Amino acid sequence: MVFQLTQKLVFPNPYYGEPDGLLAVGGDLSVDRLILAYSNGIFPWYAFREKQIQWWCPLKRFVIFPNEIHISHSMRTLMNKGRYGVSFNQAFHEVIQTCGNLRMEEAGAWLGEDIMKAYTRLHEQGFAASVEVWEESCLVGGLYGVTLGKCFFGESMFSLVPNASKLALIYLAQTFQELGGTLIDCQFETPHLKSMGGRYIDYEEYMRYVQEPFESL
């Protein structure tokens, strides 16, 4: 079943959603609604050309545990060369803009102006973060996502040179683990993420990580 949201700040029970994870449509992209969504394992997909916000909550969650991140021999070699620099939260707007621009012509493109504004507001309030990969002063890769408690909810990533997004994800996992983070939500499986340690857990286990006390991080 797919629910129609109203202005009321509430989401339906994820167990009543469609088998593929589609749970609801409508609502808005306010900071309060987004935080409530992610706190329950729900994330938006805004098909902006159709002017419809979709809310998804798959009951099988594809995640990476930071301590399980797989670093291939070729990636270790790349990291040891020191060719690229990595930073955090130094170019959030540029990262999200590049992620959107690179996918703008794809069918089902979702990273339009409204989503960018919504996640920029989250970032300004400390609930979204970016990782940037630099070749000298040029931004060549990165990712961004939502941060709540001990979880990082990945949204999008990009590479303008080979392996830049992998490098961003590795540094995210390593740094997040050092800070006490326990889970990176990948939303959907891709070969790229599976090769780096992504695996499925069920919604009940997933929510135990999401609901760990924020103050302990």
Give the bridge partners for 47, in sequence order.
Answer: 52
Residues 179, 184: Cα–Cα separation, whole Å: 13
Query: pLDDT at position 3, please?
Result: 97
The pairing of strands 52-56 and 43-47 is antiparallel
In a 13 Å sphere around the CA of 1, the CA atoms on its Cβ side amount to: 8
Domains plus CATH for the chain?
A: 3-58 (3.30.70.3550), 62-211 (3.40.630.70)
Nearest to 21 by CA among 58, 63, 62, 61: 58
What is the value of pTM for the model shown? 0.92
Q: pLDDT digit of tens for each residue in the chain (217 aa)? A: 999 999 999 999 999 999 999 999 999 999 999 999 999 999 999 876 677 899 999 999 999 999 999 999 999 999 999 899 999 999 999 999 999 888 766 555 567 788 899 999 999 999 999 999 999 999 999 999 999 999 999 999 999 999 999 999 999 999 999 999 999 999 889 998 999 999 999 999 999 999 987 554 4
Residues 113, 86: Cα–Cα separation, whole Å: 26
Q: Which two tokens stand for residue 29?
A: 């992209």
H-run or E-run covering 128: strand 128-135
